[in-house]
Amino acid sequence: MSPINAIKLLSIVFPLLQGVQAGIDLNAGNNVAVYWGQNSYGQSTGEYVQQRLSYYCQNSNIDVFQISFLTRINGAGGVPEVNFANAGDNCTTFPGTSLLNCPQIAEDIQTCQKAGKTILLSIGGATYTEGGFTSESAAIAGAQLLWEMFGPVSNSSRSRPFGNAVIDGFDLDFEATVNNMPAFANQLRTLYAADSSKSYYLTAAPQCPYPDLANNPMLDGAVSFDAIWIQFYNNYCGLQSYVPGSSTQNNFNFATWDNWAKTSSRNKNVKVFLGIPGNTRAAGSGYQPLDRVKEIIGYVKGFSSFGGVMIWDASQVFANGGFLSGVKGAVGASVVEGTVSHGASENEGFLTLAKAEKPLGTGI
């Protein structure tokens, strides 16, 4: 089935899914989160090019999507800037700014949320160079700006890249030093608390060396995070350093982050996710074959802070047949084997009418 026909199918299937899938469950350790938006597999055409967000939301093996990235908070015209790789081709630009207006992504966010997916907007990324804010007051104003642009519709004068769609929270993915971010993050928390209509999440994606220098001012007890997606790749502490069969790990330091969750974190119930590359080309180092990843998941599931697995990114893992469903099975959830095909890509877990004789979203 083509991606276009698969999207059309959503309007039939998704009403059946409401109330069945629940998105992220921070009380469970079986969540899978996938970054979407950067097309990091790198194809501009062909079967593995990044598809629109709602295409991936058909897959029951994913609970959370981090839309990546918001690359500047104070860009041209005094508003943020975003970059969604080839997905930005379907966007226009707000006059006088470099900010994209993306009605297709807005539609897909609402479609995915109706299917029970949790949708976060990730701020930062490897190309983020803004450096945070010049003062705490500027940071608080920045949080207010993003809330008005991506949170509940309240200020009709604000340009909203996702229209009336309301995200489920923000993810902070800083890989260089940023200033005054605790004030920014805590203001987001204050704004979250003022809206009781839904749950909002605040997450971060530190690299695995501890402490993470870019994010430590926030992580060292200053900000209450719901979850952190530790990048166990591109560093000495990545998955490649895991020693099979050893109860004590030296360089692979999930235990260190578990201890952080219980001692230094402001939120002692924060969940720690195992962040992994979704394919051989997804990171400079750290990718491991599925069998080894399953073994590592078995090890980290022994820590009470474990919340699930984060994968970088959608384009990579969907070009790696069987990997996503294997990860989902390893974290302990039912895996749905579907019939929507997309070349030889990762199509396991797609929900289609051909599977309607079984309860949708509950596995086989």
Number of domains in the chain: 1
- List active site positions: 175
Average pLDDT estimate for 322-331: 98
Whether residue 321 lies inside any domain: the answer is: yes
Q: Which two tokens stand for residue 34?
A: 């996938």
Full-model pTM: 0.89
Burial 138-149 (b: 16+ CB within 10 A, else e): bbbbbbbbbbbb
pLDDT tens profile 180-235: 999 999 999 999 999 999 999 999 999 999 999 999 999 999 999 999 999 999 99
Residue 71: in which H helix or E strand, if any? strand 64-72
Domain span including residue 140: 3-355
Q: Is 311 exposed, middle or buried (0-12, 13-18, 19+ CB in 10 A)?
A: buried
Residue percentage of the chain with pLDDT more than 90: 84
Whether residue 163 lies inside any domain: the answer is: yes
Q: Is 288 a residue whose pLDDT tops 50?
A: yes
pLDDT tens profile 17-53: 443 445 899 999 999 999 999 999 999 999 999 999 9
Whether residue 292 lies inside any domain: the answer is: yes
Whether residue 64 lies inside any domain: the answer is: yes
Whether residue 80 lies inside any domain: the answer is: yes
Q: Is the dihedral of CA 205, 207, 208, 211 positive or negative?
A: negative
The band of 155, judged by pLDDT with boundaries at 50, 70 and 90, is: confident
Q: Which residues pair with 173 in a beta bridge?
A: 124
Q: Is 337 a residue whose pLDDT tops 90?
A: no
Q: Is 353 a residue whose pLDDT tops 50?
A: no
CATH code where residue 325 lies: 3.20.20.80
Q: How far apart are CA 175 and CA 196, in angstroms?
A: 32
Whether residue 362 lies inside any domain: the answer is: no
Q: What is the pLDDT of residue 47?
A: 94
Q: Supply the DSSP string of 175-211, one letter for each residue.
A: -S--BSHHHHHHHHHHHHHT--SS--EEEE--BSSSS
pLDDT tens profile 236-284: 999 999 999 999 999 999 999 999 999 999 999 999 999 999 999 999 9
- Cα 116 to Cα 40, 78, 210, 271: the distances in Å are 25, 34, 33, 20
Q: What is the pLDDT of residue 63?
A: 98
The band of 334, judged by pLDDT with boundaries at 50, 70 and 90, is: low
Q: Is 309 a residue whose pLDDT tops 80?
A: yes
Whether residue 361 lies inside any domain: the answer is: no
- Three-class DSSP category at 227: strand
Q: Which two tokens stand for residue 42?
A: 């790198």
Whether residue 152 lies inside any domain: the answer is: yes
Average pLDDT estimate for 126-145: 97
pLDDT tens profile 82-128: 999 999 999 999 999 999 999 999 999 999 999 999 999 999 999 99
